[in-house]
Chains A and B, each alone.
Chain A
Amino acid sequence: MLRFEGVSFRYPGDAQGMVEDLSFQVADGEFVAIIGASGCGKSTIFRLINGLEKPDSGRILVDEKPIQTIKNYSAFMPQKDLLFPWRSIEKNICLPMELAKVPPKEQGKRGAQVLEQVGLADYAKKFPKDLSGGMKQRVAFARTLLSGADMLLLDEPFSALDYLTRVEMQEWLLQQWEHYHKTILFITHDVEEAIFLAKTIYIIQDSRPFKEMERIEVPLTYPRNREDLKRGEIVELKESLIGKLRRSVSL
């Protein structure tokens, strides 16, 4: 699905590079979490994938095609919901389709289906101010889905939510993933969240610029249960991941 080949990148004006000669890949339909300390460059990976930044060298391929040559291959969901306050919920989620010039009738149909699926059918005519934080993130997720892309880039989508809402949203996200069979890349700094959600975890340990990400398979199958997190091997995995991250944090 996605492949980085020797990608290097430095923000203009920065003395140090962000990413250097990085290679990794993500399989079709996989749920991948990327973890690392804050400021390590997790979000830069997303900015490179969705074309907001261009690599200085190396290639990024999606389905074996360079990303410059293809369109609408990925959809980005940021930490803040970034819903437009002047648009109703249904108008908000239709925005990517509007930009892709999907006929209005079709927009309405697909929008209604997805709202139903994310459990917000009753809120179509409401405005973002009428919704709670968790609901807004669900709307933002619906909007991401409706871009039609097969790869979803979720950048700490739940980190601004309170603990209970976050736990619920994680379970909800897994259901959505199983329903839509999308490839998901999920950035987080919460180790438990990464283990609960992902099949594969990429961990960034280097300080800037980082050259590689260690790949770790989570020894759990889907569907998952919170109880799984209490299993010995999982607790061990969690401790070892936290250990690795702590080493990379310099205070």
Chain B
Amino acid sequence: MKKKLPSILLVLTLLLIWQGIAMAIDAAYILPSPTNIIVRLWELREPLLQVHLPATMGVTSLGLLISVILGLLLAIAMDWNPKLEKALYPVIVASQTIPTTAIAPLFILWFGYTIWSKVLVTILITFFPIAITVFDGFKSTKREMEELLYTYGATKKDIFLKLKLPTALPHFFSAIKMAIPLSVIGAAIAEWLGAQKGLGYFSKRMMTQLDGAGVFAPVVLLSFVAMLTVWVITIVENKTIKWRKEL
């Protein structure tokens, strides 16, 4: 806790400044104060927690799950076969230059207001860091260790399972921690563009009603959930990888 004190103080200071400015402007539809937002969050707790949060979480988890599977498969394939690496790596990198927000309406056009249009945006935004980070993890395997295993008669599969997979595990956790906030952003953007429920959709609806605090409330909730998830992952990571500093 002591280590986190400076950052807690900084956040509190910023919130205080925000509160001061908001009170000075005194126009909650332009800049709601932090206390406005908390009050609004409380007032809106039922629709937010019972309808919109589950909808967004559904998109996020489904998108992340598919991204993890897809990202891992791609990383493994590229590591297994150098020709696949040569073919896929540039394409994956190039896919990141596509402005996701700009082509998201296309997905809405294809899949309508179903969950899949939003899941697709989430996948597009998260699978890249997973695939590339895990692939780099495989590549960071020490050559000497690989050779040592060869001298023990290891096969390519042995080397993958006993050496590359554990070596890449810390990278995998980093990738997940990067992907969680991105998946939330992806889901929110997609909902913003076309949805009937979800926190992104709710935020947009409040904007049309000039309800400043109502715009912020779902965003606060989203950030909180993302932070909570990353925190849980970090705990799992620390339990799983006690040897991280050794590499």
Contact of A84 among B147, B154, B163, B242 (CB under 8 A): B163
Query: Interface residue count for B (Cβ, 8 Å)?
Result: 22
A149 to chain B, nearest CB (A): 9
Q: Are B151 and A99 in contact (CB under 8 A)?
A: no
Q: At the interface, is chain A mostly helix, strand, loop or mixed?
A: loop
A76 vs B151: C-alpha distance when bound (angstroms):
7
Q: Verify A78–B148 contact, CB threshold 8 A.
A: yes
Do A85 and B243 have beta carbons less than 8 Å apart? yes
Query: Are B152 and A147 touching (Cβ within 8 A)?
Result: yes
* Residues of chain B with a CB closer than 8 A to A75's CB: 151-152
**CA gap between A72 and B152 in the complex, in Å:** 7
Closest Cβ of chain A to B65, distance in Å, is 25
Contacts of A147 in B (CB 8 A): 152
Query: How many Å lie between the Cα of A174 and that of B42 in the bound state?
Result: 75
Whole-angstrom CA separation of A95 from B149 in the bound complex: 9
Q: Is B103 an interface residue (CB 8 A)?
A: no
Known: A78-B144, A80-B144. A85 touches B247 (CB 8 A): yes
Find chain A residues with CB under 8 A from B145 CB: 82, 84
Q: Of B142, B152, B242, which one neighbours A127 at CB under 8 angstroms?
A: B242
**Nearest A residue (CB) for B240:** A86
Q: Within the complex, what minimum Cβ distance (angstroms) separates A202 from chain B?
A: 21
**Chain A residues near B46 (CB-CB < 8 A):** none
Interface membership of A50, Cβ < 8 A:
yes
B34 at the interface (CB under 8 A from A): no
B residues engaging A (CB < 8 A)?
Answer: 142, 144-145, 147-154, 158, 162-163, 166, 169, 241-243, 245-247
Nearest 6 CB-CB pairings of A with B: A85-B246, A85-B243, A96-B152, A76-B151, A50-B151, A86-B166
